Every structure is written in structure tokens, then in C-alpha cells.
Structure 1
Amino acid sequence: MTILQRAATIAVMTFSLAGLLGNSAPGQATGIDRSTTNLTALANLNALSPQNVPQIAPAATTVAAVEPIAPAEEEEFDTLAQAVAAQDIAAADDALQCLAGAIYFESKGEPLTGQLAVAEVIINRAKSGRFPADVCAVVKQRGQFSFVRGGQIPNINAGTAYRTAIAVAKVALADAWNSPADKALYFNTPDRRPSVRAIKVASIGNHIFYR
């Protein structure tokens, strides 16, 4: 092979090798780009995995605040007469009727404080544990109140005095007014004393109250 032929052969081989390199280079670059793309996609998938997804708090449901209703304040009165006048006497249960009956028969002619004190005696007895625990049973207890006949309260004329007695009974049961005889368990006229040993706590109208 002449020198010219050898040079031509080398040139052809050089061009062929250059062509081969030129054809393979884009394939390698594409592979790199593809790998980079796959890595990027994988990174994005990992970023969106459940443990990496930021938790979005559910929208708060707006609930109107309900303020507790404050209990109604007890009505205050300047006088016992106002407290009595403010009572509704339309309805009366058994205990109220028994208490009003005792007030009526024992003290309908007494001042309001005296009528309230009579009511207090009966209520105190029911709470004491020394007498029946029921207001009606206290009123009807044998030998305690002279107006009781055969264990029953006599019929009452429902006039002004009885309506007042019901109102006083309501005041007493609601503890809406402080009685000067709030600890009393007995009462009697000044010329008579209770048959038991007792301590005087108040004198109101025509009655003396004891505990």
C-alpha cells in the first residue's frame, strides 16, 4: 500500500470514528436527561407521599356560642308586706294548704310577722326530726293544734284573711323573708307556756315563740 493509499485509509477511519462518536453522544445525553427526569419525578413522588403531605386542618365549623343562662335572681323586698303582696295565690298544693290553714286558724288576727312566725314553727318542726317530716302531718298531729278536728283541717271561707294566709305560707316555704322566730318550735299565748322545757326566742303580737 502506497503512502497515499495509507493516508487515505487513515482519513476514512478517522471520519468513521468521528461519525460513530457523533452518533453515540446524543444517546448518552438523552440517557442522562432521562435519568435526571426520573430522579426528579421520584423526588416529587416522595415529596407527595402521605407522611410528607402537609395536613390541612378541616375548616372549622362555626358554632354560635351559647352562654349559660344565669339563674334568675331572687326578688328582694323592702318589707314583709311587699313580699306577701307579690305572691301568686292562684295555685296551692297540699303542703301549702295545710300551712295556710294553720296560719289562718292560729294567727289570722296577728300582724304579718306573727303569721310568718307561726308558719316557721311548723316548717321547723318538719325539719327537726322530732316531729313528723311532712308539713301536713305536723299540722294534723294529734294534740298539737286545737283547731284540728278528727285529724282534719276545717273548711275555710276563702276570703281576704285566707288569701293572706296562703301568701304568707308561700313566703315562708320559699324562705323569702327572715322571721324573728326562725328557730322556734313552739308558740303559745303569754298566759300559757309549752308543756316542754323551752327557751323563749321572740314575742310577736299575742304569741310568744320558743325553741
Structure 2
Amino acid sequence: MSFLSRAALAAAMTITFFGLTAQSTAGLAAEVEHMLPQPNATAPMTATVFTPTPTTVQVPNPTDLADDELANEETVAYPSLAAAVAAQSTHDGDDEALQCLAGAIYFETRGEPLSGQLAVAEVILNRAKSGRFPSDVCDVITQRGQFGFVRGGRIPSINEDSKAYRTAVAVAKVALNDAWDDQAGPALYFNRGRPPASGLKKVASIGNHIFWR
């Protein structure tokens, strides 16, 4: 083999060797790249958000009833006017104001709804507080020309054992203790017809009576 032939053969083998080496290196790089985690070009970047666990607050139980105003009998909440009336005693050393008020309720409204009886009682109490009438309950009732049942400045005698009078006493106690809100509110007058005086405003109509202020 001539020198030129040997040189040509050596050159060819060198080119082949470098070609194989380049191909192997590229293949290895691709294989290594495939083994590495690939970023997802289409998936959006996400972040983990920390959400605190809600805290449960324990509400304390109501205080013992011994500390409650209802348990101490400072105030009493009745479910109805009838219940408030039924809860009152009718004979326990009643004072004069209570007897006068019960007498007025008896003569003016016996047989009327309890709401009407209470409204009449409130008119009398409103007068006593108004400064326009006597300040004493009995004096309000016996004031001349105000209540038709009054005879000679006195309230007639009543059968105190009658059911109607016992109811009147209980209603009077409800009114005096402010144990129920009446429907007549600030009324100072009541009758069964037109206003007893000009300029008065109608407040309510209960039973057979109209209440005015």
C-alpha cells in the first residue's frame, strides 16, 4: 500500500471516529435531559395559600337565676294581661288607694274586657300624675262631677266577695304596679260618645268606652 493510500485510510477512520463520538455525546445529552424534570410551559404558576383554622368560641351559659331580676321578684313578665290579673291576690290588707281604684273599675267597667278595665284604671292614675287633677287617687275619683257612680262624694258600698269586685281589685293591682301596658296610653278622659270637651284627641276605643287625651 502506497503512502498516499495509507494516509487516505487513516483520514477516513479519523472522520468516522469523531462522527460516532459526536453522535454518542448528543444521544447521552438527550437521554440525561429526558431524565431531568421538565417545566410545563402551559401550566400557570401556583402558590400554596395558608388558611388559618377557624377558632370556636365557647359562649358562657346564662348566669344562675338567683342573680336574675325575675328571680329576685323585681319585675315579673306575664304572658298576657289575663295571667297578670290572675297572679294578683285580692284580699291582703288592701290600702285606701287600691280600694278606691278597684271601686271605680267595678262601677265603670264590670263585665267589660280586662283591657277596658285596665284602661279606666290608667286614666285615673294618669290624672293623679298630671297636675291638672287632684294628686290622690281617691280624690281623683270622688272629685265633683267626674264619675257618675259617686254619691255625696263617696264611693258606694260593694259586695267584696263578688267575682266582679275581686277581678277589679286584681286589675287595680296590675295598674298600680305597672305590671302591664294598657292600650289607652296617656288618656285622661273616657266616655261612651263624643269627646267630653273640645280639642281632645281620641286615643283608643276599648269595650264600651272611648278614651281621649
**TM-score of the superposed pair, with normalisation by structure 1:** 0.65
The residue type equivalent to 2:132 in the other structure is R
The residue type equivalent to 1:183 in the other structure is P
Equivalent-residue separation in structure 2 for 1:196 and 1:153 (angstroms):
29
- Residues matched between the structures, number: 143
Give the match for residue 148 of structure 1.
150
Give the match for residue 167 of structure 1.
170
| Cα deviation digits, residues 102-127 of structure 1 (max 9, x gap) | 00000012100000000000000000
* Structure 1 residue 90, shift from structure 2 partner: 1.5
Give 1:185's match in structure 2, choosing from 188, 194, 198. Answer: 188
Give the match for residue 76 of structure 2.
75
Give the match for residue 38 of structure 1.
none
* Structure 1 residue 69, shift from structure 2 partner: 10
The gaps in structure 2 that reach 5 residues or longer are: 1-66
Listed as ranges, the matches of 1:14-163 within 5 Å are: 71-91=72-92, 92-158=94-160, 159-163=162-166
The residue type equivalent to 2:185 in the other structure is D
Equivalent-residue separation in structure 1 for 2:196 and 2:167 (angstroms):
27
Equivalent-residue separation in structure 1 for 2:125 and 2:198 (angstroms):
19
**Corresponding residue SS for 2:205:** strand
Give the match for residue 6 of structure 2.
none
Equivalent-residue separation in structure 1 for 2:194 and 2:156 (angstroms):
24
The residue type equivalent to 1:145 in the other structure is F
Normalized per residue, which structure has more helix?
1
Q: 1:161 to 1:81 in 2, by over 3 A?
A: same
- Give aligned-pair identity as a percent: 66
* Structure 1 residue 193, shift from structure 2 partner: 2.3
Equivalent-residue separation in structure 2 for 1:186 and 1:179 (angstroms):
14
Equivalent-residue separation in structure 2 for 1:192 and 1:210 (angstroms):
10
**Corresponding residue SS for 1:119:** helix
Equivalent-residue separation in structure 2 for 1:72 and 1:155 (angstroms):
34
Deviates more, 1:87-96 or 1:170-179: 87-96
**TM-score of the superposed pair, with normalisation by structure 2:** 0.64
- C-alpha root-mean-square deviation of aligned residues, in Å? 1.6
**Corresponding residue SS for 1:98:** helix
Contact kept in structure 1, 2:195 and 2:212, CA below 8 Å: no
Equivalent-residue separation in structure 2 for 1:84 and 1:151 (angstroms):
29
The residue type equivalent to 2:100 in the other structure is C
Equivalent-residue separation in structure 1 for 2:79 and 2:73 (angstroms):
19
Equivalent-residue separation in structure 2 for 1:143 and 1:181 (angstroms):
22
Runs of 4+ in 1 over 6 A off after TM superposition: none
